[in-house]
């Protein structure tokens, strides 16, 4: 497995790379690098625009990628898959296109305290422009969004959309999406799922979930940067106006106006990220050689091991899973993908800088979740995230390095 990832052969300052930052971006297997290189070397051509052989091959490859994503998410139709440049653009597309036309002053969007800024700021921008409200679901002691808050907000009758993460990029906690979606639908609100983190750690079936929109990025799914996906139910996407204007998104243009193209072209103005779509399809194909059962068992073992080991370090508090933590007392410590922690009197930037010099890659800061960190009463935390390629030995190396760094800074 590890041999398939070229970057994992790297050493930094004479030590092997210990990459525990897959929640920021996951590394790409050789198969993905090769698929992209092959397209770039042998097939590079624009899509849907030429009649020549390269254009034909490119168009087929791009549309095959769409079908691969459709199957991966179990979407009903390929034209429900819109390619964007990333999860952030996907959410912004919904905020701009759907939000501008469907939200009026006084309408509300519900968010949870777990949200990443990419699922917060587009709705705050809309609040500034349209006068729509942003209502928050606080989190309970287990780190789960409070369903009582959702119920209370839905009762106002003003909620048009619930936008919620499928997996916290800080706490590793997965909200109960099915319940939330059912509650929202009962109250006549649509639901957007931010699957940026979840996409690489749990199976997602959009028809089973019955979500209305779902967004993710390719690069967290062992694919390339520069490509993201927006899934939307066809009947919703059809009623939404185009987001960006340009080529590909039109049926016809006159001096006076234009008619937009059908789905999915309507939302894909300009030359799309074709090599990246090919890379994303290769990443999905590559991942599907492993079962979700095996991936989850492996990652659960790693995270369990990490929690057990980090907890032994004095003054270290794992957010959301540490019984002694004042911050959240997590009763059912099941986390996916990542965990975050604080270390008394050691700043996350010092810790990650010192570990970084030993080849250990962790993420420090507020992880683009300032509302959550404010709620937890901490300015920043350090995050350890795992991928399909990590090993227990790496967690050991990391835990020892944390102890050493603590000593270095305070003795």
Q: Which residues bind another protein (CB under 8 A)?
A: 347-350, 353-354, 364-366, 373, 378-380, 408-410
- DSSP H helices in 156-273: 177-186, 206-209, 234-239
Q: Smallest distance, Å, CB 381 to another protein?
A: 10
Given strand 338-343, what is the order of strands in its sheet?
Answer: 316-318, 338-343, 381-385, 363-365
Residue 71 or 410: the one with the smaller Cβ distance to another protein is 410
Supply the minimum distance, in Å, between the C-beta of residue 408 and another protein: 7
What minimum distance in Å lies between the beta carbon of 312 and another protein? 24
Nearer to another protein, 58 or 118 (CB): 118
CB-CB contact of 315 with 377 (8 Å): no
Confirm whether 368 is a catalytic residue: yes
Q: Would you say 167 or 170 has its CB closer to another protein?
A: 170
Q: Which is nearer to another protein, 154 or 351 (CB)?
A: 351
How many Cβ atoms are within 10 Å of 52's Cβ, its own excluded? 10
Question: Residue 298 or residue 366: which is nearer to another protein going by CB?
Answer: 366
Asked if residue 218 lies in contact with residue 203, where contact means CB atoms within 8 angstroms, the answer is: no
The DSSP H or E segment spanning 233 is none
Q: Distance (Å, rounded) from C-alpha 83 to C-alpha 34? A: 21
Which candidate in 87, 368, 369, 398 is catalytic? 368
Backbone dihedral angles phi then psi of residue 295, each to the nearest 5 degrees? -60, -45
Closest CB 342 distance from another protein, rounded Å: 11
- In sequence order, the β-bridge partners of residue 139 are 145
- Name the minimum Å distance from CB 11 to another protein: 19
The DSSP output letter for 290 is S
In angstroms, the CA 291 to CA 293 distance is: 5
Nearest CA to 120 out of 192, 227, 176 is that of 192
Catalytic residues: 368
């Amino acid at each position: 497995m590890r041999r398939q990832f070229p970057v994992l052969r790297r050493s930094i300052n004479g030590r092997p790379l210990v990459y525990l930052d897959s929640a920021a971006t996951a590394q790409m297997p050789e198969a993905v690098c090769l698929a992209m290189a092959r397209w770039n070397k042998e097939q590079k051509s624009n899509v849907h625009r030429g009649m020549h052989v390269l254009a034909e091959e490119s168009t087929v490859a791009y549309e095959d990628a769409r079908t691969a994503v459709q199957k991966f998410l179990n979407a009903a139709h390929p034209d429900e898959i819109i390619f964007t440049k990333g999860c952030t653009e996907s959410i912004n597309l919904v905020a701009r296109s759907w939000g501008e036309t469907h939200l009026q002053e006084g309408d509300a969007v519900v968010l949870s305290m777990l949200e990443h800024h990419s699922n917060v700021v587009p709705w705050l921008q809309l609040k500034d422009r349209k006068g729509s409200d942003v209502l928050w679901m606080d989190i309970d002691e287990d780190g789960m969004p409070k369903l009582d808050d959702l119920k209370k907000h839905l009762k106002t009758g003003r909620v048009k959309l619930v936008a919620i993460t499928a997996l916290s990029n800080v706490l590793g906690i997965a909200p109960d999406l099915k319940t939330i979606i059912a509650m929202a639908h009962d109250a006549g609100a649509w639901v957007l799922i931010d699957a940026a983190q979840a996409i690489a750690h749990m199976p997602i079936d959009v028809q089973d979930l019955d979500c209305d929109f779902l967004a993710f990025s390719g690069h967290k799914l062992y694919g390339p940067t520069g490509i993201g996906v927006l899934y939307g139910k066809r009947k919703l996407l059809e009623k939404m106006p185009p987001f960006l204007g340009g080529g590909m998104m039109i049926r016809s243009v006159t001096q006076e106006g234009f008619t937009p193209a059908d789905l999915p072209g309507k939302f894909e103005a300009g030359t799309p990220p074709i090599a990246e779509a090919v890379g994303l399809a290769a990443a999905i194909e590559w991942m599907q050689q492993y079962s979700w059962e095996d991936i989850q068992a492996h990652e659960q073992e790693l995270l369990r091991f990490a929690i057990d080991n980090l907890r032994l370090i004095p003054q270290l508090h794992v957010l959301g899973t540490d019984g002694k933590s004042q911050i959240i007392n997590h009763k059912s410590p099941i986390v996916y993908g990542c965990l975050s922690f604080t270390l008394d009197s050691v700043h996350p930037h010092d810790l990650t800088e010192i570990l970084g010099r030993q080849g250990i890659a962790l993420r420090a800061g507020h992880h683009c979740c300032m509302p959550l960190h404010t709620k937890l009463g901490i300015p920043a935390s350090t995050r350890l995230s795992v991928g399909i390629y990590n090993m227990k030995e790496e967690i050991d190396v990391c835990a020892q390095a944390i102890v050493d760094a603590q000593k270095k800074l305070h003795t």
